[in-house]
Chains A and B, each alone.
Chain A
């Protein structure tokens, strides 16, 4: 897993110039006052990984928070950038942002598939925790909790498969219901009762019934099986050639009547579902915002298709022609499409309802089509029947046309009352067929042979139809039963996997929470899946509160306990899900903690996360000092960040580093910024000396107190020395020289017409070092190097450094 080797940010948020952090995979503790811009570091890291900054993303600021990302301190031509080098792999990259023709462009320098893959895999990792992110999961709705965790552990894939299985089960159940096999079988059985005078349930009974029917004809042989050849042989014995057409027509009218009768149930379902569809359509069409999002979604998808097809190869937006890298444009379009998904839920449901309706209508239309293809329907005497079926077909076509109306168009589908076929239309067709069939039957009744022949053939057809229907039903039932078994087993598997995960996850959260809250009557945190019917609908969070199991926690726990729970959740998530990155950014997460919780959080990080690279940012000075002391021996980096209008957010370097840079610049005769560095060095020395010698300065509020000018400190120090110090110190001219030349390094020096040469700056530096030698001990082992009244010798009346090597007469 990767740690950060070097991190450099410039021109982002509060950071104006280079802010380099050479971490070499080690942890870092960063202190900065409120407003010093330390969170610019976490914002930049978030942007590097996600291309957006969640807490800045809003309608006012702009999508992804990008407009607020690039430092406003930059000139238009300057780029903002974050560069991360890792301890392993070839995923080092710089992400830059620049302003071009009024819009922001951002690019990653690493365009390899490895890097893209790394970013994709990192996308679900828990890398950054801010104070504001502590409790949202804890106080979230149970469904949002489920969505959140499902998203992280990739349960969306499980949900997709489950939805496919469920939808298929529902389809099969609906299809089985629509086919109405039982009713169809019952119709055929009715026919047999009509022909035989009783029902038959077995093949044997059927053969006996046919033989009984034929008995009056005194035929030389009986029907012995339902084999086609046997049926043909018997039919030949019974049939008269002139009867064939009458029997065929009888069979046709019966089929037509059965077909129309069987369409009753599906047509009623179509009628009901279509009415529901129209209501949903109208409700969605009234929501203009959603409609505009649906239209926008289409446009964006078209855009992605266009760009991916390679039909538009230039690095520009095809619509506005603004320069834009093609891959970035695709990435942004996909991100926006993703954002619109939520608004599309109702549209997707509507599409699903339409598709299901279209299937049912097409099936009815197909059945009606088969009837129209029958040559008997074209007979002149059946004109009324043909018109009836064609009218029914037109109704079905109208349904389909109405379903094709686009939600984004101004048109609306017609109400069901205007387009659905009326029950009387179907009844009229059935009545026609019955009357025709009955008429033929009455003709046959006068001719015994014809009557028996007709009954026998129609009964055989009915029997065969029953057998076919039974087998077709069996195929549906078998498919439904198999799919139900698959679906049930899948739901069980999903539930087991989630429960196992939540149990383990709860154990780990609990362990971390109780580490931060030992010996308290609050704990035993448990995440529990909530099911309704067989659906997972959410995750609740239980906690034992003074002996009672309560839920949700935010109804009972104090703010700091809730925050502890939030931290425990984040850290557990990081342990569980982070597979690519071995670092965590914790940005001011202990703000609401009391001192006890702060200490225990520091212990937790120190003891349990020592194998992680931690980037810990805080504005709490006391906690920083505690943590600083703790991590000193752990090889952590420790830095302070500050902000000023010239430099923006920058690392407040240690005196040693500053000194090295000043010496290097003097040697290289590099005047750029040298005066500024010398001023900062002098300020730091003077602040320590003024503190130790109790130099009094004008009262200023809070941060302004830290912002003292060298000149003020020097003159007040000089006054103090003149009043209290002995002759030796009073006679030293270093202070006087510094007062005279302090303007060289003053903050306002760049506004002055005076342009110091390297000679001026070298002399200034010599005076600073002389002052340092005068007031600060050079012994390595000295515990307190600056001369201080804390080490005042009341006998000798001297102010001393910690080891006593530096000692000056001093009258209190």
Chain B
């Protein structure tokens, strides 16, 4: 049965490989999640900070345009 058993790591890796093909996912957000995963740094705190930065970038961009 060895060949049929997919380990937890394999399941996770397989999921992240197909992340950009998921429907309804903003590319920037997929990039952030994938980047953290590849660096082995996908924690709640880091992901939350990265998303906050992305929102702030949007705010700053607007202010600059204004």
Contacts and interface: CB of A to CB of B under 8 A. Distances in A.
A485 B47 CA distance: 15
A154 B5 CA distance: 11
Contact of A156 (B8, B37, B47): B8
Contacts of B58: 471-472, 475
A312 interface: no
Interface string B1-34: 1101111110110110001001111100110010
A497 B11 contact: yes
Interface in A137-193: 150, 153-159, 161, 163-164, 167-168, 171-172
Nearest to A496: B11
Contacts of A161: 12, 15, 37, 42
Nearest to A154: B8
Contacts of A505: 1
B29 A482 contact: yes
Contacts of B6: 153, 497, 500-501
B44 A164 contact: yes
Nearest to B6: A497
Given A153-B8, A154-B9, A494-B11, A572 B25 contact: no
A168 B44 contact: yes
Interface centre among B12, B24, B30, B55 (most CB of A within 10 A): B12
Contacts of A475: 54-55, 58
Interface residues of A, number: 44
Given A153-B5, A486-B19, A167 B12 contact: no
Contact of A482 (B14, B25, B62): B25
Interface string A665-685: 000000000000000000000
A159 B4 CA distance: 20
A153 B42 contact: no
B38 interface: no
Contact of B5 (A163, A481, A494, A501): A501
Nearest to A159: B8
Contacts of A501: 4-6
Contacts of B2: 575-576, 579
A479 B66 contact: no
A471 B15 CA distance: 31
Nearest to B55: A475
Interface in A500-521: 500-501, 504-505, 508
A172 B26 contact: no
Contact of B11 (A158, A471, A481, A577): A158
Contact of B55 (A171, A479, A575): A479
B48 A157 contact: no
Contacts of A579: 2
B32 to A, nearest CB: 10
Given A576-B1, A576-B5, A577-B5, A168 B48 contact: yes
A485 B8 contact: no
Contact of A479 (B8, B15, B29, B62): B29
A575 B1 contact: yes
A468 interface: yes
Contacts of B7: 153-154
23 contacts: A155-B8, A157-B9, A161-B37, A164-B42, A164-B44, A168-B44, A171-B44, A228-B66, A471-B58, A471-B62, A472-B55, A472-B58, A475-B54, A476-B55, A482-B26, A482-B29, A485-B25, A486-B19, A486-B22, A486-B33, A497-B6, A500-B4, A575-B2
